[in-house]
Amino acid sequence: MPEGPEIWRTADNLNKALTGRKITDFYFAFDELKDSEPKLKGQKITNVEARAKAILTYFEDDIVMYSHNQLYGKWMIPEDGKQPETNRSLRVAIHNKQGSAYLYSASDVELLPRNKVEDHSYIKKLGPDVLHPNTTKQDIAKQYFSDEFKNRKLTTLLLDQGFVSGIGNYLRSEIMFYAGVNPRQKLREYSREEKEELAKATITLSERSYETGGITNDASIVEALKRENAAYSEYRHFVYNRTGDRCHKCGTVIEEEKTGGRKIYYCPSCQIND
How confident is the model over 16-71, as pLDDT tens digits? 999 999 999 999 999 999 999 999 999 999 999 999 889 999 999 999 999 998 87
pLDDT at residue 2 in the model: 76
Determine, yes or no, domain membership for 96: yes
Alpha carbons 90 and 84: distance in angstroms, whole number: 10
The domain tally of the chain equals: 2
Q: Among residues 150, 152, 186, 262, which one is catalytic?
A: 262
* Whole-prediction pTM: 0.92
Is the separation of the CB atoms in 100 and 75 below 8 Å?
Answer: no
Classify residue 89 by its DSSP letter. Answer: P
Residue 274 has pLDDT above 60, yes or no: no
Helix boundaries (H) for 43-148 = 137-144
CATH number at residue 222: 1.10.8.50
Alpha carbons 117 and 171: distance in angstroms, whole number: 27
Q: Among residues 3, 49, 194, 197, which one is catalytic?
A: 3
Query: Has 262 been annotated as catalytic?
Result: yes
Longest CA pairwise span in the chain (Å): 64
The verdict on 113 and 191 lying in the same domain is: no
Determine, yes or no, domain membership for 21: yes
Is the separation of the CB atoms in 222 and 156 below 8 Å?
Answer: no
Q: What is the pLDDT of residues 165-204, one digit of tens each?
A: 999 999 999 999 999 999 999 999 999 999 999 999 999 9
The verdict on 89 and 177 lying in the same domain is: no
Query: Has 207 been annotated as catalytic?
Result: no
Is the separation of the CB atoms in 4 and 206 below 8 Å?
Answer: yes
Q: Among residues 9, 51, 53, 195, which one is catalytic?
A: 53
Residue 137 has pLDDT above 90, yes or no: yes
Which of 123, 158, 178 delimits the end of a domain?
A: 123
Q: Give residue 68's domain range.
A: 4-123
Mean pLDDT of 224-243: 95
Mean pLDDT of 233-242: 96
Alpha carbons 115 and 119: distance in angstroms, whole number: 8
Determine, yes or no, domain membership for 233: yes
CATH number at residue 104: 3.20.190.10
The kind and range of the H/E element at 243 are none
Determine, yes or no, domain membership for 142: yes
Read off the amino acid at residue 132. H
% of the chain at pLDDT higher than 70: 99
The verdict on 97 and 146 lying in the same domain is: no
The verdict on 23 and 109 lying in the same domain is: yes
Is the separation of the CB atoms in 157 and 88 below 8 Å?
Answer: no
Determine, yes or no, domain membership for 129: no
Residue 247 has pLDDT above 70, yes or no: yes
Residue 223 has pLDDT above 90, yes or no: yes
Q: Choose the weakest-confidence range: 2-6, 112-116, 149-153, 180-184.
A: 2-6
Mean pLDDT of 214-242: 95
Distances (CA, A) of 95 to 27, 44, 80, 202: 9, 11, 12, 37
Q: Give the end-to-end CA distance of the chain in Å, rounded to a whole number.
A: 34
Determine, yes or no, domain membership for 128: no
Q: Among residues 2, 78, 84, 268, which one is catalytic?
A: 2
